[in-house]
Structure 1
Amino acid sequence: LVLLTEILMKLMCVFVFVSSYLVETVTNKHVITRQPSWSQIFQGEEITLTCEVQGGEKTDWWYDWRRKTQYLQQKNEKILKFTASQSFNEDYECMATRKDDIYSSTTWSEAFTVSVLRAVLKIDPVWSTLFIGEVVTLTCDIEGAEAGWEYSFNKDQQQYSPGYQTTKYYRFNITSSNDGGEYDCVGRQKGSSETEKSETVHLVFPSTEKPRATLTSGTKTISVGGSVSLSCSVRDSDGWKYEFYRETSNTWETNVEDNKVKVSKGGIYRCRGERETSGYVSDMSDEVNIQITFTNKPVITRQPSWSQIFQGEEITLTCEVQGGEKTDWRYYWRRNSVPLQQKNEKVLKVTSINGEYDCMATRKDDIYSSTTLSEAFTVSVLRK
C-alpha cells in the first residue's frame, strides 16, 4: 500500500510538471494595420505596422513578428517600423502572448502583404546582341502601381524622351554605336511629385553595318545517298531563325530551319538569319559548294594501244565512266594536276606531250554530281 501511494504521488507530480508547460490558445482575433494607409507605397517612405488584438485592449501583451516565416524581432512591441524598399516586399504576420501568462497566446495573424512600388526598365528585343538597323523598345513598368502614371526615359543621365508621356513605351532605331549607353526610366504619378526611378541598363551596339551570316559544313563532298549537315550562324548572337538557299539551274530553293539543316543534294548553298519577331534580316553568307560523288570509277584508255609512242604520233585518250554508259556526262581533263580544257568532251587528243593525265565526269542534268578523279594515266613519248 505504501508503495502504491508513492507511485501515485510521483505520477501527480509529473502531471503537474507537464501541464505547467501546456500553452493555452487565446481566441481573440488579431489584425495588422498599416500607416500610411494609402494603397501605393513609395520607396523611402516610413512604414508602420501595428498588431491589434481585438477585444484584448485591456490586456498586456508581448508581440512577435515574422516575415515569410522568419522571425523579425524579439522586442515584443506591437509596432514594427521600417523604411520602404524592395527588400521589405513580403507577407508579414504577428502573434501576441499575455504578459501575465506566457503560455496563453494568440495564433499567427493572417498575412499582411507589403508591396513597395518599383520602376523596372525592360528592353525588347532581349537578344544578346542588337545591330544597326534594328528597332529597340524601352518599357517602363511600375510594379505594384495603379493607373495614372507618366513616364520619362533617360540616356547617360540626360532626358532621352520628350518629357513625361502617358505611354510607358519608347522606341528608337539603332543608327550607330553611339546609340549605346546607360538607360533608365522614371515614373511619376499624375498630379504628384512622387517619382520612381529604375535601375540602369547598359546597352552596347556594334559599330558595323548589317551582320553577315556564316555557313559551315561538315564536308563539301558526299557520296550518292549520303548527307551533310549545314550550320548557319550570325556572329555569336541569338534570336534568329535561318533561311537556307540552294541554287538550282536557274532558281533558288528556300528552306527555313533552325540553325542546322541536313542536305543530300549537291549545289551551291547560302544562308541568312532573320529575327524571330521583327523580321530584320542579316546579309547573305558566302557560298558553300556541296558536291555529290558517284561511286562509278572513270578509267582512261588510249589509242593507239601499243606500248611505244613516237614523237609526232597523235594520241587519243578516252575517259570511260564504268557503269555510267546510259548517263550524259561532262568531262574534265588534267595534265600534271593542271586543268586542260573546258570542252567537256570524253576524248582528249594530244601530240607528243609527256605527262600524268587524269579525268573526272559530271552529270549534265546535275552539275553538282560528279565522279571522283580517275587514276593517273602516264603518257611517255619516245624520241626518234
Structure 2
Amino acid sequence: MDLLIWPIQTESTNRGSATSDMVNQNEDQHNEYSTLLHATTYYLLLSITRVGNCQIPHQSRALFKTVVTVQPNWPQIFSGEKITLRCEIQGGGHTEWTYEWTTTSSNTFPTDNRYIIIRATESHSGQYRCLGRRDTYTSTEWSEAITLKVLSYKPWAELTAVNRDIPVGGSVILTCSRYFWYRDEKTSQPLTSQDVVFLSNRRIRVSVGGVYWCRGGRGEPVYYTEYSYSITVNKKREAVVSLQPNWSEIYSGEKITLRCEITDEGHTEWTYGWTTPSSIKFPTEIDTPY
C-alpha cells in the first residue's frame, strides 16, 4: 500500500508587507497540519505492518502422505480375479476425508478410499494415484503411482507323472503346479487326505487307479486356474492261476479246471488272457475246464 503525501504550498501574495501576526498564524497552522499528518502516517504504517504480519490461509499438504495399496498383493493378476485398491493416508488420524483418484486406465473412480474390482480385465491395467482432501485448505500430495497389470488369460495347471502304472501293492506319485486335485470327474469335490497321500512340493501319492486332474486356486472368493490335462493311472493287480482239483498227480482222462483269480477284484468286469507252452487255445473266461 502506497501513501501519497502532497507538499503544502503557501500561497504567494503581492501585498507589500505582511504583519507578523499573520506570519505567526500561518506557522502555527502549518505545525498543526504537519503533526496531524505525521500521526495519520504512523497509524497507516502501523496498520500496513499488522496486515503484512497476518497469516493468509493456504492449503496444507506437508503433514500427510498418501499410499495406494493393492489387495491381494500378487506379482501377477489374471483376468477374472477380484482386486481391491485402497488409498491410505499416513498420519491422517480419524478425520473425515474425501478422495480423488487418477489413472491411465479407462475406468472411473468414486470418492471413497477403496475401489473394488469384482472381475479384473485388461481395461483395468494402468497406473493409479490418489490424494485425500479434508477441507478447503487441507489436502495431501498425490501419491506415488502404482502399476496394475491384468493378464488377459487364466493360468493353466500342469500335471506330470513319472510312472502311470501302479504296481501291485504300490503307488505312483503325481506332481501338479497347483494344489487342487481331482479324480475321474472335473466337477467332483477335490481329493482329501482320505483319498490320497499329500506330499511336499505339490505332489500326491496315489494307490487307486483312475483319471486324475488338478488346478490351482487363490483369493477369497477362490479364483481357479484352468484344469490341467488329465493323466490316467492304471492299477496293476496280481493274477493267480489255481488248479481244481489240486492233486499232486493228474492222470489221463481226469477233469481238471484252471482258474484265473485276480486279487482285490471287487465287482469289476474282467476279460482274461491265457498263455501256455502247449498247443491248446484258451478262452477269455475265468474258468478253463479240460
| TM-score of the superposed pair, with normalisation by structure 1 | 0.43
User: In structure 2, what is the Cα distance between the partners aligned to 1:254 and 1:326?
Assistant: 25
| 3-state secondary structure, aligned to 1:231 | strand
1:176 Cα deviation (Å)?
A: 3.2
Q: Does 1:187 align with 2:128?
A: no
Q: How does 1:74-223 map to 2 (within 5 A)?
A: 116-146=63-93, 147-156=95-104, 160-162=108-110, 165=111, 167-208=112-153, 210-223=154-167
Q: Does the 8 Å contact 1:153/1:186 carry over to 2?
A: yes
| 3-state secondary structure, aligned to 2:216 | strand
Cα 1:118–1:224, aligned 2, differ >3 Å: closer, same or farther? farther
User: In structure 2, what is the Cα distance between the partners aligned to 1:326 and 1:244?
Assistant: 25
1:326 Cα deviation (Å)?
A: 9.0
Deviations 1:288-342 (A, max 9, x none): 11122235489xxxxxxxxxxxxxxxxxxxx985x64895762377xxxxxxxxx
Q: Which has the larger radius of gyration?
A: 2
Other-structure match for 2:170: 226
Q: How does 1:311-322 map to 2 (within 5 A)?
A: none
**Which 10-residue stretch deviates more, 123-132 or 183-192?**
183-192
Give the length in aligned residue pairs.
195
Q: Does 1:264 align with 2:201?
A: no
User: In structure 2, what is the Cα distance between the partners aligned to 1:217 and 1:198?
Assistant: 49
Q: Does the 8 Å contact 1:153/1:159 carry over to 2?
A: no
| 3-state secondary structure, aligned to 2:123 | helix
Other-structure match for 1:284: 227
User: In structure 1, what is the Cα distance between the partners aligned to 2:176 and 2:166?
Assistant: 19
Q: 1:243 aligns with which of 180, 205, 225?
A: 180
| 3-state secondary structure, aligned to 1:331 | coil
Task: List structure 1 segments (4+ residues) > 6 angstroms apart after TM superposition.
Answer: none
Deviations 1:63-112 (A, max 9, x none): xxxxxxxxxxxxxxxxxxxxxxxxxxxxxxxxxxxxxxxxxxxxxxxxxx
User: In structure 1, what is the Cα distance between the partners aligned to 2:263 and 2:83?
Assistant: 61
1:161 Cα deviation (Å)?
A: 0.9
More strand by share: 1
Cα 1:188–1:157, aligned 2, differ >3 Å: closer, same or farther? farther
- Between the aligned residues of both structures, percent identity stands at 30
Other-structure match for 1:65: none
1:170 Cα deviation (Å)?
A: 0.6
User: In structure 1, what is the Cα distance between the partners aligned to 2:90 and 2:107?
Assistant: 22
User: In structure 2, what is the Cα distance between the partners aligned to 1:230 and 1:344?
Assistant: 34
User: In structure 2, what is the Cα distance between the partners aligned to 1:159 and 1:292?
Assistant: 54
Other-structure match for 1:70: none
1:206 Cα deviation (Å)?
A: 1.5
Q: Does the 8 Å contact 1:224/1:292 carry over to 2?
A: yes
Q: Does the 8 Å contact 2:213/2:231 carry over to 1?
A: yes
Q: Does the 8 Å contact 1:119/1:186 carry over to 2?
A: yes
Q: Does the 8 Å contact 2:82/2:120 carry over to 1?
A: no
| 3-state secondary structure, aligned to 1:134 | coil
| 3-state secondary structure, aligned to 1:123 | strand
Cα 1:344–1:232, aligned 2, differ >3 Å: closer, same or farther? farther
Question: Letter of the aligned partner of 1:330 in structure 2?
Answer: W
Q: CA RMSD in A?
A: 3.8
| 3-state secondary structure, aligned to 1:330 | coil
1:228 Cα deviation (Å)?
A: 2.8
User: In structure 2, what is the Cα distance between the partners aligned to 1:273 and 1:255?
Assistant: 13
Question: Letter of the aligned partner of 1:170 in structure 2?
Answer: Y
Cα 1:284–1:326, aligned 2, differ >3 Å: closer, same or farther? closer
Q: Does the 8 Å contact 2:72/2:219 carry over to 1?
A: no
Cα 1:229–1:118, aligned 2, differ >3 Å: closer, same or farther? farther
Cα 1:159–1:285, aligned 2, differ >3 Å: closer, same or farther? closer
| 3-state secondary structure, aligned to 2:223 | coil
Question: Letter of the aligned partner of 1:270 in structure 2?
Answer: W
| 3-state secondary structure, aligned to 1:196 | coil
Q: Does the 8 Å contact 1:330/1:344 carry over to 2?
A: no
Gaps of 5+ in 2: 1-59, 242-257, 274-282
Cα 1:128–1:344, aligned 2, differ >3 Å: closer, same or farther? farther
